[in-house]
Structure 1
Amino acid sequence: MSGGGSIICDFIAHTVPFYFLLIATRPELFNVTRTPSSDRTMDLGLAEDHFSRPVGSLVASDIEQLKLAIEECKKLILELPEHSERQKDTVVKLIHLRLKLQELKDPEEDEPNLRILLEHRFSKEKSKSVKQTCDKCSTIIWGLIQTWYTCTGCYYRCHSKCMNLITKPCVRSKVSHQSEYELSICPEIGLDRQDYRCAECRSPVSLRGVPSEARQCDYTGQYYCSTCHWNDTAVIPARVIHNWEFEPRKVCRSSMRYLTLMIPRPVLKLKEINPLLFNFVEELVEIRKLRQDILLMKPYFITCKEAMEARLLLQLQDRQHFVENDDMYSLQDLIDISTGRLSCSLTEIHTTFAKHIKLDCERCQAKGFVCELCKEGDILFPFDSHTSVCHDCSAVFHRDCYYDNSTTCPKCTRFTERKQDDIPEEKKA
């Protein structure tokens, strides 16, 4: 009860001043009109515990009494001296009565738990938090007395009453069908090309703020109204790839949701988009080498029973693309590289993998190589920093031996000789 009580107290703390303001300025919102003050004594007809019985025992007359009490309470608020203690207590009483009426009406029976609209999959929320904001009308969602929904795909939130007004399809569908970023930095086309209208809802906008302020999205370069652009900020992929810049910029709501869903997806092939980036960012070179080593370790693990039982490759389950290729990056990868987080975690995983192959597992140790050029030294592995690998047969040699050797790879030479021996004499002639 203490948790629920604190929520109600917070709700009252936010709502009481709001009720006073509405009563003073717009009494018509309460469906009442000011009447001359009278000597009418009013008990509201209700004790605090009158409606505290189990819901199953309530009858229609209880709801009717509650509605009458609410009407009487609203009239009394307008008749009492403004900002008096008694008026304040009556406002609190009105709030409690409205909450109780909402409970008795049981809106969950009237509203479906799941609604599908424009590829959104809206799920009815049970949370009573009052700190959410409707993405459609940009007003607060009063969870205690209002029904609201959240899209399970793009996390679009809105009142139940606003759902039929939604015109923007679910962003997750765009992510599924078009997983690529805008790679031009703020590709502005100009407000005149937009006919001085919001790029999303098409409501009139102006740089002077009349009738509505035009706000630019740094990701799309287009202008939006204040309902579609809340001055949210996000890291812009184009600025990261071209300038290695991670300062968050202002984006519209739809761009914010799109970038949030796209951030873990490995869709950036840096060596094609901007290969010069590796010349200026040392951390990228380090990460690329670690990823190349992990790909060389992968064949050891998928043929090793102990490694499969230990599920070593699952240490990279949050970055599955690291065990598939070494050239695709997600925006989250680049953000973590800039902060140093990825380098630390990947180095630790690299050390664990190398320890299993070179020290802990006899099966993996047996798959090592001896340098056939000098026939000396320790067992070599393709991911060792001092080795070189033949591109044709994958044999491993000391780097110095490989580059100093003027002849071809000994293993490749043997393969060539065997093929020659398998050719019949008549074909050789």
Structure 2
Amino acid sequence: MAAAIANDSPKYKNSLICCSPSVEITSRASSSSTSGCVSADESYDSNYIPKSIANKKLKIHSSATKEEIEKAINQCKELVLSSPQCSDERKWLVRYLVELRLRLEDIKDNDGQVRVRVSIKGHHFEQQINPTNRKQYCDHCSGVIWSIVQSSYICNDCGYLCHYKCVDHICRVCAHVVMTEKGSFEMSICPERGLAAQDYKCAECQTALTFKDTWNEPRLCDYTGLYFCATCHWNDLSAIPARVVHNWDWEKRYVSRLAFQMLNLSWSRPYIDIESINSRLFSFIAELEWVHKMRRDLEWMRRYLCACTEGTNLLSPLFVQLGDVNKKYSMAHLQAINDGSLETQLTELTEVCRSHITNCALCSGKGYLCEVCGNNEILYPFDSGALMCDKCNSMYHRGCWLRKGEKCLKCLRLEERKKTTDVVETDSTDTLEYDIDKFVD
């Protein structure tokens, strides 16, 4: 059983613990039972009932009252006494009996009332009424949550999951609150400060860390650069935004539970400004440079579509995300660029928008004409063969622009007009001063 803990529990996953049974492991397993992990055999499925007692209807709802739990305890006691010794049936009944007693103690501690909602450290917990069939672990004590009989809470904002008895003792601030206040990712690659800067304690729960005790071995979070204990660091794997932006490195690395929740919450939020952080990345990643160009085209298309009643129907969620003027990317966008899926979506989107603008009477009437060649071809700012003047926003064919020495005809006319106006104003000022002096004399 102790070996199953070391192999299956997220608390000991990929740790240096020897999975062979020993006195130290056995004592640790027994002590963990007080935190919701009653049985050391964590590979046991809490939703499985032996066939011999499947028709006894022993399972109770997670919102059962005190009287219902006491009735289930008495029934379970009778079945334990009548079951064969050392059988799988008796083992299951004993585990279930202990869980029922723990559940009864939870209700007694709260005067018979189960709190439906709890707010603590930025979390907004709600009781799990219909938990899933998959195995769940408490984010506070890393013990198994036995959904059959144990009450549990889940945060509606960050997904923090904990036992009913652990909710008042959590020390982790809600990841949603942390990312909302910060509003950006950590852009330094693993900013490690060392265990000495943390006073050899876990960055979250302040548990003493040491390399001598494998149960309290420090684990480095590659996102924050801080060290955590095994309870706060489950060796979750995630891509690191700083490594992606600086090196386009998508290899997943170990992060703490807090960092894992923060990255999951902010994965689709546009927090990354590649132009200001690492503008050279565009020259190395061709797909990223192409998407960046398409975003500029979508920005011009948005100006046309927003002024058209029919064009507003084309403003899909993807268009709103990538057509924004802030030029920021989310990790989901960068991952789609790396996978190649965003290129297909953008191509289809731009073709549909371009077709509407060129065929719509209202949108096409806001196009431009090239005054160099003088033909009737309508130009748009998002055309690849057109070029816009940065000063006066005049449009030219790229070939016409080069043929005129990259000089804008409208800007030249404005400069000549300004010079002429300045000369006329100077002459009129000089004449006025001469007449006044003559009048005074």
Q: TM-score, normalised by structure 1?
A: 0.76
Distance of 1:228 and 1:50 partners within structure 2: 37
- Cα drift, residue 183 of structure 1: 1.6
The 1:63/1:246 distance shift into structure 2, 3 A limit, reads: closer
Q: Which runs of 5+ in 2 are unaligned?
A: 1-25, 35-54, 60-64, 429-441
Task: Determine the structure 2 residue equivalent to 1:260.
Answer: 264
Task: Determine the structure 1 residue equivalent to 2:223.
Answer: 219
- Amino acid in the other structure paired with 1:306: E
- Cα drift, residue 253 of structure 1: 0.3
The DSSP-based 3-state class of the residue aligned with 2:141 is: coil
Distance of 1:373 and 1:96 partners within structure 2: 86
Distance of 1:412 and 1:301 partners within structure 2: 29
Task: Determine the structure 2 residue equivalent to 1:269.
Answer: 273
Give the number of the structure with larger relative contact order, counting CA–CA contacts within 8 Å between residues 6 or more apart.
Answer: 2
Contact 2:125 2:155 in 1 (8 A): yes
Task: Determine the structure 2 residue equivalent to 1:37.
Answer: none
Distance of 1:113 and 1:81 partners within structure 2: 40
The 1:148/1:269 distance shift into structure 2, 3 A limit, reads: same
Contact 1:204 1:211 in 2 (8 A): no
Contact 2:100 2:149 in 1 (8 A): no
- Cα drift, residue 189 of structure 1: 1.8
- Amino acid in the other structure paired with 1:379: I
Contact 1:179 1:262 in 2 (8 A): no
Task: Determine the structure 1 residue equivalent to 2:286.
Answer: 282
Instruction: Give identity over the alignment, percent.
Output: 34
**RMSD across aligned positions (CA):** 3.7
The 1:71/1:93 distance shift into structure 2, 3 A limit, reads: closer
Match of 2:118 among 115, 119, 125: 115
Alignment of 1:136 with 2:140, yes or no, is: yes
Task: Determine the structure 2 residue equivalent to 1:203.
Answer: 207
- Cα drift, residue 207 of structure 1: 3.2
Contact 2:268 2:331 in 1 (8 A): yes
Match of 1:313 among 312, 315, 326: 315
The 1:110/1:428 distance shift into structure 2, 3 A limit, reads: farther
- Amino acid in the other structure paired with 1:121: H
The DSSP-based 3-state class of the residue aligned with 1:158 is: strand
Task: Determine the structure 2 residue equivalent to 1:351.
Answer: 351
Contact 1:215 1:223 in 2 (8 A): yes
Greater shift, 65-74 or 240-249, is seen at: 65-74
- Cα drift, residue 67 of structure 1: 4.4
- Amino acid in the other structure paired with 1:354: R
The 1:93/1:290 distance shift into structure 2, 3 A limit, reads: same
Task: Determine the structure 1 residue equivalent to 2:168.
Answer: 164
After TM superposition, the structure 1 = structure 2 runs for residues 57-72 of structure 1, keeping only pairs within 5 Å, are 67-72=73-78
- Cα drift, residue 206 of structure 1: 2.5
- Cα drift, residue 123 of structure 1: 1.3
The 1:207/1:376 distance shift into structure 2, 3 A limit, reads: farther
Distance of 1:227 and 1:118 partners within structure 2: 18
Greater shift, 110-119 or 64-73, is seen at: 64-73
Contact 2:175 2:261 in 1 (8 A): yes
After TM superposition, the structure 1 = structure 2 runs for residues 19-418 of structure 1, keeping only pairs within 5 Å, are 67-75=73-81, 80-83=84-87, 88-89=88-89, 110-130=113-133, 131-308=135-312, 311-316=313-318, 320-325=320-325, 327-359=327-359, 361-376=360-375, 378-406=377-405, 408-413=407-412
- Cα drift, residue 191 of structure 1: 2.3
The DSSP-based 3-state class of the residue aligned with 1:268 is: coil
Contact 2:138 2:145 in 1 (8 A): yes
Q: TM-score, normalised by structure 2?
A: 0.74
Q: What count of residue pairs does the alignment treat as equivalent? A: 371
- Cα drift, residue 331 of structure 1: 1.8
The 1:391/1:230 distance shift into structure 2, 3 A limit, reads: same
- Amino acid in the other structure paired with 1:366: G
- Cα drift, residue 323 of structure 1: 2.0
- Cα drift, residue 223 of structure 1: 1.5
Contact 1:154 1:257 in 2 (8 A): yes
Distance of 1:171 and 1:302 partners within structure 2: 36
The DSSP-based 3-state class of the residue aligned with 1:328 is: coil
Task: Determine the structure 2 residue equivalent to 1:43.
Answer: none
- Cα drift, residue 418 of structure 1: 7.1
- Cα drift, residue 428 of structure 1: 5.9
- Cα drift, residue 65 of structure 1: 5.9
- Cα drift, residue 402 of structure 1: 1.1
- Amino acid in the other structure paired with 2:349: I
